[in-house]
């Protein structure tokens, strides 16, 4: 089922998510709904809190070298913990909860991540480049943060001014 994506400044986006305890049909339905919602909205990642569910669950499905988003490349990441990170990269990010706004953000270029899949099996994987960026972006959501918080003071003020205009105008 396609769910509504919460849009900034919705206060629920500021909530800190809780660890998933039960790897059951309810979680599987949530992950399936997240995937359907993300694909419909043309995103590459989605955190559960973005659809109003404060659980440490996120999904990422990057576009492959053929330009397609194949479901077999989907990562369902539950209760993630970054074990290591290094390097630095700047990437122009966007967010389904801040539609239509893109800006450059600095993040670690490489991360080592521990997480669980939908069945509760633990994994440790290393990610680089866009996958590392996407994981960090979605993990920020789980902590109640948005990428716009990483902008410089001047860029953030400009964003807030433009966003208020857009928001008042009914998008």
- Residue list, annotated binding site for Fe cation: 95, 137, 141
**Residue 83 buriedness (CB in 10 A; 0-12 / 13-18 / 19+):** exposed
Q: Is 138 a catalytic residue?
A: yes
Task: Name the residue among 10, 7, 20 with its Cα closest to residue 121.
Answer: 20
Contact predicate 82/132, CB 8 Å: no
Instruction: Give bridge partners of residue 93 from the DSSP assignment.
Output: 103
Instruction: Give bridge partners of residue 126 from the DSSP assignment.
Output: 112
Task: Name the residue among 58, 63, 79 with its Cα closest to residue 122.
Answer: 79
Binding positions: 95, 137, 141
What is the Cα–Cα distance from 148 to 156, expressed in whole angstroms?
7
The beta strands (E) that lie in the chain are given as: 45-47, 57-60, 75-86, 89-95, 98-107, 110-116, 122-128
Catalytic residue among 72, 109, 124, 138: 138
Catalytic machinery residues: 138
């Amino acid at each position: 089922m396609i769910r509504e994506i919460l849009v900034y400044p919705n206060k629920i986006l500021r909530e800190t998510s809780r660890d998933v305890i039960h790897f059951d049909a309810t979680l599987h339905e949530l992950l399936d709904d997240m995937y359907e919602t993300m694909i419909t909205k043309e995103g590459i990642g989605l955190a559960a809190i973005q659809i109003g569910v404060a659980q440490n669950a996120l999904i990422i499905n990057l576009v492959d070298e053929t330009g397609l988003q194949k479901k077999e490349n989907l990562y369902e990441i539950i209760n993630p913990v970054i074990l290591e990170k290094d390097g630095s990269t700047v990437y122009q990010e966007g967010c389904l909860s801040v539609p239509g706004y893109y800006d450059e953000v600095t993040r670690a270029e490489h991360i080592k991540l521990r997480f669980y899949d939908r069945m509760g099996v633990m994994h440790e994987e290393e990610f680089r480049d866009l996958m590392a960026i996407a994981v960090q972006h979605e993990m920020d959501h789980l902590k109640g943060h948005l990428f716009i918080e990483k902008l410089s003071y001047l860029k953030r003020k400009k964003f807030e001014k433009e966003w208020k205009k857009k928001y008042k105008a009914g998008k």
